Chains A and B, each alone.
Chain A
């Protein structure tokens, strides 16, 4: 069922129930995937899914409900459940409806054509063959996966707001397993690009370079965090930049807007229209026009991220960062990234002092990083840096510190900005980053 039909039905149900204030979000998505391992295609997948989220507002408090079927009975139950939930809410935060921004960014229509499954399979096998044949040490456990992802998000409310945006892109992911004697190492790479441009780049070389890794010892080190590791760190700690979390005492940035909180090299940006993004969108989950903003500018905290609700509570203006679109939304982001510097990765190595490590792999941030405290203690692998140059591989060490301190101790940024693959309309970018004085043990 199309969104307009669902919306009309919901308008009728709400009118009959005397519900005046409400909002809804509808997401429709489809995907195709193909995966190969060793020298064979192992699985393919196809998915079509839609979700409708409805928020009823009673006395300024919003309660929500979600469903995936849209017959009259299901929609009636959806509204009833949301009203029941709204009547339970006691929060100080108001659920606010928005009439619409005066102007929204004008974005080009997304012209994405879902490829055929046979084309997807063909590209998957070509990638896999290129990986398997690239080196004798590549093992059958190596995998390539290609996906086509597309969909639409629609937003509407009882004030007449109605917005929508589509997206569509292809992405690939390759994971290599290499073995030399008894030693095994892994590498991976992923990217968003047209099917024709997908190719093996670094994951086999990366894995081979990690073979026969040594130990690093226990010490305070200068650390160069690879782009992928810094992106993981940002992902684990980005909730400290949410205004709502500051209000709740879950971020130490409460009341710090305008203060120096990081090295002057740090500029952290959230830009919905970052040119390389495959998932641009011109509105947030409140329907507020999305725009680019510096969260940290040359080390100074310029703003936290706010929705309509958290901004009102904090006495601020919304930054157009309500999200996610479905369910009980609060704060989200679009393309959030650390602005790159001017150094090459080798320049960062040469700027390290004493013994240092290049951290290229991190695991377990979901458990080893605590956004409420800023503390982290994480399993890592990478390379020694000796005399300012990349040295031997090292594995099985932990890196511990505090994210608030890490931002203050940034001493260099590389010039290459790399991105995570999108999750909904969100992605994170970072260059490689030199940080001083992190605790390493292994």
Chain B
């Protein structure tokens, strides 16, 4: 990548029009994506992408630029452009007077990798894909199509800024995704399983069985093929652990990101210390879980990942904050949540591994408490408008609950509501936390996140159906 001397020159040039802070982000990412479709290797694609992001602050104004041209001329040209984009106040950066000295920091690695995927030949990865494909295909003769993909990402970056920080990290992600289609001849139904870790291929030797993933995707597709359409209305729901945690992610998590809060665009503005959720709810964003899909040794501003208690026994304790938005949030500090898809995006506050902590209610009590409602065993993705709090997410595998018993499967359900209300209505919280993996899209692009929770009950929510 770039020498420290050139990075220093870039920072100096970028700050020449009065910026009070500048940051260089250098990145190189190798990735490989291999897919099996119709029982054959259908696609294999590699990528080697590198570039630089350059960010300036001047008070509450920020400029961001990026380039894939890492030549001296390329990076200095970018520095000139971002400097020119600031409202101009020609000045000499403070560090020029004493000289910019970088103090290097090497982060502690919480996610060691034993088998780096980018060093493994395709044929070894294809073996893993075949195990998943065979698992999916062999589940039932009604499985008409299976798509299996293995994607690995090897991301190295350096962050250097005008405060003298010089650090970097290497993040390695591996994810297997299986999509199964079950067909009755006149209609299709789908199932999905997609475990991912911040790890290498060793994850398939300990913990994740590709064949099981295939069977699980096909099992869900078959359940949906036999399911009846869910009836719309307002019901109590029990939402299972794992990816069920998307309910907190969408309903509340996004609204606690400084990207929203700093501009007054959140239901939870100015509510620190207040009871905002059911007292049974404690919610945490923890970027320090070893090997977890959303973990960070350091965030994309070079700050160590943190475990942040967002809500404790219903009381709002913290937001998720990046350095720029911290300037707008008096008295609050960055929380290690600055993330970005790649160098083309300015980082901003994002979730890492976000989950509802275990409570005291047994699964049997939660299901048994519902007279007429829905058990959401597997959830899909969702979205939220943090300004109004209106959120939605899809149920991928659901069942009716009648008189405290799980009954027939239902399909086509979507849950919608208002974030500040639904976390008050989470009135039972189970004991067994599990996580699920997803890609979260927002201002700074798509980043890997974990969502999680134990089984919970929401006493009342709008269910879309037929």
CB distance B48 to A67 under 8 Å? yes
In the assembled complex, B462 has its CB within 8 A of some CB on chain A: yes
Q: Is A117 an interface residue (CB 8 A)?
A: yes
Measured between beta carbons, the chain A residues less than 8 angstroms from B368 are none
Please judge, given known A-B contacts A84-B122, A368-B394, whether A45 and B42 are in contact too, CB under 8 Å. no
Name the residue of chain B whose CB is nearest to the CB of A177. B387
Residues of A248-297 whose CB lies within 8 A of B: 248-250, 252
**How many A residues touch the partner, as a band?**
35 or more
Q: Which residues of A are found within 8 Å of B50, using beta-carbon distances?
A: 68-69
Does A396 lie within 8 Å of B188, measured CB to CB?
A: no
A82 is an interface residue with CB less than 8 A from chain B: yes
Q: Which of B3-11, B79-87, B151-159, B399-407 contacts A (4 or more CB under 8 A)?
A: B79-87
Question: A363 near B392 (CB under 8 angstroms)?
Answer: yes
Residues of chain B contacted by A395 (CB below 8 angstroms):
390
CB atoms of A65 and B47 under 8 A apart: yes
Min CB distance, A55 to chain B, in Å? 9
B43 at the interface (CB under 8 A from A): yes
Q: Are A373 and B462 in contact (CB under 8 A)?
A: no
- Residue in chain B with minimal CB distance to A64: B45
How far is it, in angstroms, between the C-alpha of A84 and the C-alpha of B49 when the chains are bound?
18
> B385 to A66, Cβ gap below 8 A?
no
Given A46-B65, A47-B344, A49-B68, CB of A89 within 8 Å of CB of B43: yes
Nearest Cβ on chain B to A52's Cβ, whole angstroms: 10
Q: Considering residues B86, B388, B392, which has the most beta carbons from chain A within 10 angstroms of its beta carbon?
A: B392
Pair B464/A49 contact, Cβ less than 8 Å: no
Which residues of B lie under 8 Å from residue A372 when comparing CB positions?
181, 188-190
Interchain CB contact under 8 A, B41 and A91: yes
Q: Which of A375-390 contact B (CB under 8 A)?
A: 375, 377-379, 381
Beta-carbon contact of A67 and B49 below 8 Å: yes
Q: Are A442 and B40 in contact (CB under 8 A)?
A: no
Cβ of B69 under 8 Å from chain A: yes
Q: Is the CB of B383 within 8 A of A366?
A: yes
Chain B residues positioned under 8 Å from A400 (CB to CB) = 229, 232, 412, 414, 464-466
| Interface residue stretch chosen among B56-64, B99-107, B198-206, B359-367 | B56-64
Contact with A along B66-90 (1 / 0, CB 8 A): 1111100000001001101111000
A66 engages B46 (CB within 8 Å): yes
Chain A's nearest CB lies how many Å from the CB of B446? 11
Q: Which residues of B contact A375 (CB under 8 A)?
A: 411-412
What number of B residues sit within 8 Å (CB to CB) of A?
77
CA distance A442 to B121 in the complex (A): 52
Does B44 count as interface, using CB distance less than 8 angstroms? yes
Cβ–Cβ < 8 Å partners of B68 in chain A: 48-51, 68-69
Indicate whether A359 reaches chain B with its CB closer than 8 angstroms. no
Q: Is the beta-carbon distance between B464 and A379 smaller than 8 angstroms?
A: yes
A43 at interface by CB-CB < 8 Å: yes
* Interchain CA distance A141-B188 in the complex, whole Å: 43
- Say yes or no: B189 contacts A373, CB within 8 Å: yes
Q: Which residues of B contact A69 (CB under 8 A)?
A: 48, 50, 68, 70
**Are A396's CB and B462's CB within 8 A?**
yes
Partner of B464, one of A48, A74, A370, A378: A378
Contact B44 A88 (CB under 8 A): yes
Instruction: Choose one: A177, A396, A399; the contact of B417 (CB below 8 Å).
Output: A396
In the complex, what's the smallest C-beta–C-beta distance from A269 to chain B, in angstroms? 27
Question: B178 in the interface, Cβ–Cβ < 8 Å?
Answer: no
A85-99 CB contacts (< 8 Å) to partner B: 85-93
Do A66 and B47 contact each other (CB < 8 Å), given the known contacts A92-B38, A363-B383? yes
Interface stretch, picked from A34-42, A160-168, A316-324, A424-432, is A34-42
> Is B346's beta carbon under 8 Å from chain A?
yes
- Which one of A139, A218, A396, A399 contacts B264 once the chains associate, using CB atoms below 8 Å? A139
With both chains docked as a complex, state the minimum distance between the C-beta of B68 and any C-beta of chain A, in angstroms.
4
Kindly state the separation between the CA atoms of A48 and B84 in the bound complex, as whole angstroms. 16
Assess whether A328 is interfacial by the CB under 8 Å rule: yes
Is B97 at the interface (CB under 8 A from chain A)?
no
| Chain B contacts with A in 209-253, Cβ cutoff 8 A | 229, 232-233
A63 in the interface (beta carbon within 8 A): yes
A236 CB–B CB distance under 8 Å: no
Cα A173 to Cα B224 in complex, Å, equals 39
Known A-B contacts: A45-B63, A249-B188. Give 17 more (CB < 8 A). A44-B64, A46-B63, A46-B78, A46-B85, A47-B66, A67-B49, A68-B68, A88-B126, A139-B264, A367-B392, A367-B393, A367-B414, A370-B190, A372-B189, A373-B189, A377-B412, A442-B416
Q: Can you report 28 residue pairs joining A to B where beta carbons are below 8 Å apart?
A: A44-B64, A44-B85, A44-B86, A46-B85, A48-B67, A50-B68, A65-B46, A84-B122, A88-B123, A90-B41, A93-B42, A248-B145, A249-B181, A328-B43, A363-B392, A364-B382, A366-B381, A367-B383, A367-B393, A373-B187, A373-B188, A379-B416, A396-B417, A397-B464, A398-B462, A398-B464, A441-B462, A442-B416
- Which residues in A have some Cβ–Cβ distance to B below 8 Å? 37-38, 40-51, 63-69, 74, 77-78, 81-82, 84-93, 117, 121, 139-141, 177, 184-186, 218, 248-250, 252, 327-328, 363-364, 366-368, 370, 372-373, 375, 377-379, 381, 395-401, 439-442
